[in-house]
Amino acid sequence: MNHAGTREQSRPLLPGPVITALVQLERVLAVWVPYIPMIAVFSYILFWPVTFPPPGKTHIQVQNDGELSRQLSLGFSFAIAALVMFSQRGRLSAFLGNNKLLLLLLLWALLSVSWSAVPVLSFKRWIQFAGFLLVARVAVIGEHGPERTLAVLRTLFALAVFASLAMVLLNPEAGLDASRQAWRGIHVHKNTLGQVATFAAVLWLPALLTATGPLRKGVVTAVISVALLLVLQSDSKSSQIVLAVLLGIWLWLALPFRREIKFAIAPLPLLVTLFWLFALHSGGITDLFFAAIERDSSLTGRTLLWQELLDQFGLHSLYGAGYNGFWTSLNPQARLLVLRIGWDPGQAHNGYLDVLNELGIIGAGIFLLLLLQMSVRIVRSMRVHLVVGQTLLLLFVSQVLFNITETGFCRGSTLGWILFLTTAILANRLGHWKEVKAGAAHA
């Protein structure tokens, strides 16, 4: 009887196959949990329906509102990322040491909260800044970090462009811009679709020449083709010109020809785009330039906006107005600017000017040093992994160009800012990837 009781007690609580399945699930989760925060953040930004600004509110008024869906999504993402980082806290010192300029910018943004006209709002936006850094950092943990992180981003952006195409084809009333019949897909504005499709194209382009097998090549070709179609049909002139420049850079990097031949081929995408735009515009190159930035030749509203913003900048030139602390209806300077120019832009329509205005000369200096450091790291990264390095270069250049006419740098939870921070972390991580892989091999 006692022996039988002992056997009963030693019998496992779960059948063997169930235990095996749980062990396999644990291994899968250990691999993919670091990517869950990034998937959640980009899924929310790419797919959550947003009406901006909501009816009855201006751009600067909506800056004061907290959206529950955003708070829940970002809060979940930041919490998971914090838990993963805590479990890997031994790597935190290396992360801090390798990203000094990025962390200096983060600290300066936090310090600027103290003199912001809206310190609570500025602090919330700073939490997002820190959270996005954390999300990007945990996504590159492991020996496949940078490569797998970009694979996750490619998948998300591919789903986004196919979703937009489906929206246009199946529900044209929602997928088309009512005023100009341009495509906007699942997004609120045609320019947003143009940017998303541009990012999708540059994420997938470097994989075109390395794809193996007919199925993989077919998928890569299909995503790039749909992305190019969406950029064209979005009628976003800035996206079309930016993508043409990026295509030229990619051709220069990818084609195995002599330099003389590359000099002849690389400018072709931009020249073709400019020729196509000239064919649609009866004016000269000046009119074409202003069409590209979505304004007429008098730059109606924008020159006055920049002049007024520079006048406001003179009141806080050294320290700035505070991180994300200017463009809000709670800021008297912003309300006065809107009254003077007669419209509510909600941003400077120039990322560099907004950084200068909100973070001051000191913050802008740190940011420009960060841009320089990123460019050096990305060029070096192409020696470590050609495809990943080329992708980072194209993402970086796209942000540098887009911020000439739209603000993406240091701007809340915008897609451009999140991609910029992810690119910065990936560029740093790729520089140490050989060491990580060598350590994993010895282990």
| Lookup: tokens for 39 | 């998937």
Widest Cα–Cα separation across the chain: 100
pLDDT band (50, 70, 90) for residue 88:
confident
So what's the pLDDT on residue 66?
67
What CA dihedral angle connects 263, 266, 267 and 271, to 10 degrees? Answer: 140
Judge contact between 173 and 183, C-beta under 8 A: no
Residues 6+ apart with CB under 8 A from 371: 400
**CA separation, residue 174 to residues 52, 165, 182, 188, 369 (Å):** 15, 12, 11, 9, 43
Distance CA 271, CA 251 (A): 14
Residue 280 has pLDDT above 60, yes or no: no
Distance CA 247, CA 197 (A): 13
Distance CA 347, CA 12 (A): 63
Question: What integer best gives the mean pLDDT of the chain?
Answer: 82
So what's the pLDDT on residue 85?
85
Q: What is the pTM of this model?
A: 0.86
pLDDT band (50, 70, 90) for residue 65:
low
So what's the pLDDT on residue 303?
75
pLDDT in tens, 299-316: 445 678 888 888 888 888
Q: Which residue do the tokens 């031994």 mark?
A: 90
